[in-house]
Amino acid sequence: MKRPVRQAHTVPGDTIAAVFAGAPGPRPAGALSPLCRALYTAQTRSWPALARTAAELAGVRLRDLSSDGWSLKVQYNPARLKSGAARVDPASIAARPCFLCPAALPPEQRGILYREDCLILCNPAPIFPGHFTIANLAHEPQAIEARLEAFLDLARDLGDGMTLFYNGPACGASAPDHLHFQAAPAGAIPIEKDLAGRFDARPALGSDGVDRWGLVSWGRTLILVRGRERTPLADATRRLIARGGNGPGSPDEPMLNLLAGYRRGEWRLCLFPRRRHRPAAYDRPDSERLLVSPGAVDMGGLVVAPREREFTRLNAPLLRDIYREVSAAAPPWADLFTRD
Ligand SMILES: [Zn+2]
């Protein structure tokens, strides 16, 4: 895929709280994490809107729905209503100002200028204490294929204390018109802990330096990939993503969510291939409506319920049905499912 021409961009000087400079590679893994933590602490003091949502998050209600050895939680988080109910059709997107363009950020918002490529921002409606949105400096569409190497670099720079994730433009991104990733504290997304032992138990890397396999967990199709070398890992992941596509020549990115952590000197990726953005119950009449809009975090076992109704109604079987409904079926990846 040819990368779109990047538009000129400017970041107002007083928006930049810190700069992470340099070419990818030479800095130690994890060098970016302290800057992120400092930004979150500073912004919860200087930005009243974030101070409020962060305080609410400290008292957030959780229900544990763990089943069959998989960690599943529901979080009641009313601050997420705007995001979970966001209209992401092209007409609605065109009609609203972009909330990730650096020149249009709220006056209190500050960010870390990362490698002159993107701005790391505190998400104003956090799901975790320390929830970041990494916004591309230029306003260009959400798409992962041309940015996989940058995504891996960022995961390495965040290191073992944080997890990076990506929501495809048609499955969870509330700004499909502006390229962005998100980051969370390591382990905050429940499936990370469920998968850690499985990653640790894998055999040594194969001849191409990449290990990939698949499994189904509580209705979710998962493709897991690990590797120590960036280029073969990115190439292998690109090929895996293409498998979930709509056929040769389709302009649309295959629907997916992606989690990435850099642990024990290797990248560990969890790909959720998708076939639907929201379950059919999302569009039912109000009395039957289920306002659940799964992105990477929800697929990873932390389901965000912006209304009390979903918070109390969701249970493990219903959640499994939702996961099955929005996940891609396994056959295109059948050969990956033979070893686990
Ligand atoms: Zn924008």
Burial of 138 (0-12, 13-18, 19+ CB in 10 A): middle
Compute, in angstroms, the gap from residue 242 CA to the centroid of ligand 1. 26
As a whole number of angstroms, the distance between CA 141 and CA 93 comes to 11
34 CA distance to ligand 1 centroid (A)? 26
**Model confidence over 288-332: pLDDT tens digits?**
899 999 999 999 999 999 999 999 999 999 999 999 999 998 888
- Give distance in angstroms: CA of 303 to centre of ligand 1: 27
Whole-number pLDDT of residue 250: 62
Least confident of 12-26, 110-124, 184-198, 304-318: 12-26
Q: In this predicted model, what pLDDT tens digit does every residue of 68-81 receive, in sequence order?
A: 999 999 999 988 88
Cα 98 to averaged position of ligand 1 atoms, centre (Å): 5
The rounded distance, in Å, linking the Cα atoms of 258 and 139 is 21
- The candidate with the shortest Cα–Cα distance to 41, out of 16, 17, 59, 13, is 17
Ligand 1 centre and the CA of 317: distance in Å?
38
Q: pTM value?
A: 0.93
Task: Give the mean model confidence (pLDDT) for residues 263-274.
Answer: 96
CA of 99 to the centre of ligand 1 (A): 6
The CA 334 to ligand 1 mean position distance, Å, reads 38
What pLDDT is attached to residue 5?
Answer: 43
Give CA–CA dist 326/340, Å, rounded: 22
Alpha carbon of 140 to ligand 1 centroid (Å): 7
- The pLDDT mean for the chain works out to 91
Integer CA distances (angstroms), 170 to 111, 177, 219, 273, 277, in order: 26, 11, 20, 12, 6
Question: CB neighbours of 102 closer than 8 A, spacing ≥ 6?
Answer: 9, 10, 11, 12, 15, 111, 119, 135, 137
Q: Which of 102, 101, 99 is nearest to 16 (CA)?
A: 102
Beta strand segments in 87-179, E: 111-114, 118-122, 132-136, 162-167
Unique residue bearing structure tokens 């544990």:
64
Torsion angle in degrees (nearest 10) through CA of 48, 124, 130, 26: -110
Query: What's residue 174's pLDDT?
Result: 84
pLDDT of residue 84: 66
Structural domains of the chain ordered from first start? 13-337 (3.30.428.70)
pLDDT tens, position by position, 135-181 = 999 999 999 999 999 999 999 999 999 999 999 998 988 899 999 99
pLDDT of residue 165: 98
Kindly report, residue by residue over 171-213, the tens digit of the pLDDT.
Answer: 988 899 999 999 999 999 999 999 999 999 998 887 889 999 9
